[in-house]
Amino acid sequence: MRHQKKGFKLGRTSSHRKATLQALSNALIRHKRITTTITKAKALRMFVEPIINRAKEDSTLNRRQAFRYLQDKESIKALFGDIAGKIGDRPGGYTRIVKLGQRAGDSTEMAIIELVDFNDVRPDGSSSGSAKKTRRAGRRKKTSDAVAAPASVATVVEEAIVSEAEAVAEEVAEVVAEVEAVSEEIAEAVTEEVKAVDAPAEEAEATAEDASAADEATDESDDKKEA
């Protein structure tokens, strides 16, 4: 019997389950949104939200307790960095689960779990929580969620692709500007080197012209004396 035994076994042993939730938590903290099965998403929410709650107070104890569960330094930096700045005024409920419907291969219920503060857009078809719940209404809600959720996910994915494309375009523009600046510096350096190489030759030509002019003047004076 499972009396008063909260949580999800996920078909794993205790150590395997902890490793799975640890990997999912690190992925969620890094990417702010991941896709998994709905059972894993619910188990992950119970596992990761107490850890995120510790990021509100940046102390050595909280960092050590978070590292105890995550075992990843980069995740700790992200958790006590930009995530802590976003969740400062939120009393709880740091994650949101959006149902995606059944997976094609084995009909497993899939879902997206994301950090609420990094996506302020409420998914289409989600309720505000104020309406009275009934059995029949609950069945309708499940059907509407299964139909409406993919549209919201498509919108989110499209926005993410657009933002990534804009970021890549900005990076490419910066690289092009740097390449142009370097090419200008190289052209100036080559021009200066060419001038430095041509200067002795020009001086030698000028000296030769002066010498030839002096010889001509000497010849003219000799001719005058002979005459």
Task: Report if residue 217 sits inside a domain.
Answer: no
**How many domains, in total, are found in the chain?**
1
What does the pLDDT average to over 201-226? 71
In the chain, the largest separation of any two C-alpha atoms, in whole Å, equals 139
Task: Report if residue 189 sits inside a domain.
Answer: no
What does the pLDDT average to over 160-171? 79
pLDDT, tens digit, 9 for 90 and up, residues 72-100: 999 999 999 999 988 888 888 999 999 99
Task: Report if residue 193 sits inside a domain.
Answer: no
Task: Report if residue 6 sits inside a domain.
Answer: no
pLDDT band of residue 119 (cuts 50, 70, 90) is: confident
pLDDT score recorded for residue 148: 47
pLDDT score recorded for residue 173: 82
Q: Which residue pairs, CB below 8 angstroms and at least 24 apart, start in 188-193?
A: none
d(C-alpha 123, C-alpha 89), whole Å: 22
**The CA-based dihedral angle spanning residues 155, 159, 160, 166, taken in that order and rounded to the nearest 10 degrees:** 160
Task: Report if residue 126 sits inside a domain.
Answer: yes
| Structural domain boundaries enclosing 85 | 14-176
Nearest alpha-carbon partner for 55 in 84, 78, 93: 84
**Integer-rounded Cα radius of gyration of the chain:** 37
Mean of the per-residue pLDDT values of the chain: 81
Task: Report if residue 76 sits inside a domain.
Answer: yes
Task: Report if residue 205 sits inside a domain.
Answer: no
CB 48 within 8 A of CB 70: no
* Structure tokens, 115: 């950090």
pLDDT score recorded for residue 135: 62
In sequence order, what are the residues at sequence separation of 6 or more whose Cβ sits closer than 8 angstroms to the Cβ of residue 131?
137
Determine the length of the chain: 227
d(C-alpha 125, C-alpha 122), whole Å: 9
- CATH code of the domain in which 134 resides: 3.90.1030.10
CA distances from 165 to 59, 88, 105, 162, 169 (A): 37, 30, 31, 5, 6
Burial per residue of 44-58, b for 16 or more beta-carbon CB atoms within 10 angstroms, e otherwise: bbebbeebbbbbeee
**What are the strands of the beta sheet with 95-102, ordered from one edge?**
33-37, 109-115, 95-102
| Three-class SS state of 59 | coil
Tell if the pTM clears 0.75, that is, is over it.
no
Task: Report if residue 206 sits inside a domain.
Answer: no
